[in-house]
Amino acid sequence: KNQVEQSPQSLIILEGKNCTLQCNYTVSPFSNLRWYKQDTGRGPVSLTIMTFSENTKSNGRYTATLDADTKQSSLHITASQLSDSASYICVVSAEGGTGRRALTFGSGTRLQVQP
């Protein structure tokens, strides 16, 4: 069964600090892994997408890493800002998944950045 597990479930950090969110998956065959940011009451917004051959990708202060061998990914946020407070969702896509079961969602990490 395809699964995506994220940790921690929630995290509180002070503004300006860095943090790293984890994602472990057992999706096969693997196609790509994405990180989304979801503000409360809003839809998810894509941060990064990585395929099998990519092991790091940055988007501003967000840097995602992927280890396809260990099936782990991380999202590192640098110099956090209050606006980073949101849920961060790891989503893994199965290869050949053009159908409805293409995406497996993690339960998300709720990040709260405090002043």
Partner 1 sequence: GAVVSQHPSRVICKSGTSVKIECRSLDFQATTMFWYRQFPKKSLMLMATSNEGSKATYEQGVEKDKFLINHASLTLSTLTVTSAHPEDSSFYICSARKAGATYEQYFGPGTRLTVT
Name the site residues for partner 1 (rule: CB under 8 A): 31-32, 36, 41-46, 49, 89, 93, 97-103, 105-108, 110
Name residues whose C-beta falls within 8 Å of residue 102's C-beta, 6 or more positions apart in sequence: 31, 93, 94
Question: DSSP character for 50?
Answer: E
Extract the tokens encoding 59.
């988007």
CB-nearer residue toward partner 1: 77 or 92: 92
Cβ distance to partner 1 smaller for residue 8 or 16: 8
Smallest distance from the beta carbon of 48 to partner 1, in angstroms?
12
In one-letter notation, the amino acid at residue 63 is: T
Supply the DSSP symbol for 19. E
The single residue listed with the structure tokens 């989304």 is 36
Q: Which is nearer to partner 1, 41 or 115 (CB)?
A: 41
